[in-house]
Amino acid sequence: MVAWLAGRLLQSFVVLAVMSFVIYAMIGLMPGDPVDIMIAADPRLAPEDAARLRALYGLDLPIGERYLNWLGTALSGDLGYSLTYNRPVLEILLPRLANTLLLLVIAALLAISVAVTAGIVAALRPRGIVDAAINLACFAGISVPPFWLALVLIIVFAVTLGWLPAGGMGEAGAPWSERAAYLVLPVATLTAASLAAYTRLARSAMIEALRQDWIRTARAKGAGPARVVAFHALRNAMLPLVTIIALDFGTLFSGALITETMFGWLGMGKLIYDSILGNDFNTALVALLFATGVVLVANVLADIAYAALDPRISYRPQEAAR
């Protein structure tokens, strides 16, 4: 188990290290480096000054060297400042991360509970009329553009009916009940994005589980239909479901970027998008690294949960490397 876990952590660490270089290199290719921005702010700077400034900040070094310089500084705890907010990036980032996690956790829990329920109902009578209806809804769900769904929700519930706010997060000091109204539409958008895919998974996992021998045994021993479904089948169906959903954290994060941008929710996704469009490249760099790190940690936790849930899983390293 320990060897398996160490291998798994090492693998995630390698991915994070590679990604940190890729992200650093991509950010270096953004239009306009810090010196360009200084020139734009101060027209008196001559081209010679720009070259001198580039040398001063080490911007003329090869990419590998620049990366190592940056990595050394970053690992010593200095992640730099945000150009937009004139504050340390971490100070901006951490509250945003909390906002995103709030959105993600609520949406994921909601999507999983609805999907499991719908999946069970569909699996009880495969190819029945209810199954067909759920299947059609799933096709619709995986085909709808998430940002358009957000627009339609805004048109219906905010513009036309006026029941819910079109965006924002509410006053910081307002009571929780008032601020919850701002959560409804973003959570609905984000939930819808994953609900259809999860429901299909839950349905096929349940059908597969209900087909097993032990289900027949349980029925033969007189277990009622509710007990068979809730106890015998669901427990086994949950296994593949939990892993796939947890490995889907990256997709969920991508969905959060769209949702946050549409509803003005001050999370990580919106921060990344805004900072790239606003030439705030240091913030974009750090936020992207954090997003990648959070997703990788979630994936490792998912693997551990899976291994812990399923006694049949082997922890031998060669198995893990398969």
State the residues that interact with another protein by CB under 8 A. 11, 15, 18-19, 23, 26-32, 139-140, 142-149, 151-152, 154-155, 159, 247, 249-251, 253-255, 257-258, 261, 269, 272-273, 276-277, 284, 287-288, 291-292, 295-296, 299, 321
**CB closer to another protein, 92 vs 272:** 272
What minimum distance in Å lies between the beta carbon of 218 and another protein?
A: 28
CA end-to-end distance (rounded Å), the chain: 15
**CB closer to another protein, 233 vs 294:** 294
Residues 6 or more apart whose CB falls under 8 angstroms from that of 275 comprise 82, 84, 281, 283, 284, 287
What minimum distance in Å lies between the beta carbon of 13 and another protein?
A: 12
What minimum distance in Å lies between the beta carbon of 177 and another protein?
A: 28
**CB closer to another protein, 229 vs 295:** 295
**CB closer to another protein, 169 vs 247:** 247
**CB closer to another protein, 123 vs 271:** 271
**CB closer to another protein, 195 vs 229:** 195
What minimum distance in Å lies between the beta carbon of 40 and another protein?
A: 15
What minimum distance in Å lies between the beta carbon of 265 and another protein?
A: 15
Annotate the chain with three-state secondary structure: CHHHHHHHHHHHHHHHHHHHHHHHHHHHCCCCCHHHHHHHHCCCCCHHHHHHHHHHCCCCCCHHHHHHHHHHHHHCCCCCECCCCCCEHHHHHHHHHHHHHHHHHHHHHHHHHHHHHHHHHHHHCCCCHHHHHHHHHHHHHHHCCHHHHHHHHHHHHHHHCCCCCCCCCCCCCCCHHHHHHHHHHHHHHHHHHHHHHHHHHHHHHHHHHHCCHHHHHHHHCCCCHHHHHHHHHHHHHHHHHHHHHHHCHHHHHHHHHHHHHHHCCCCHHHHHHHHHHCCCHHHHHHHHHHHHHHHHHHHHHHHHHHHHHCCCCCCCHHHHCC
What minimum distance in Å lies between the beta carbon of 307 and another protein?
A: 16
**CB closer to another protein, 148 vs 231:** 148
**CB closer to another protein, 105 vs 142:** 142
Residues 6 or more apart whose CB falls under 8 angstroms from that of 177 comprise none
What minimum distance in Å lies between the beta carbon of 140 and another protein?
A: 6
What minimum distance in Å lies between the beta carbon of 39 and another protein?
A: 16
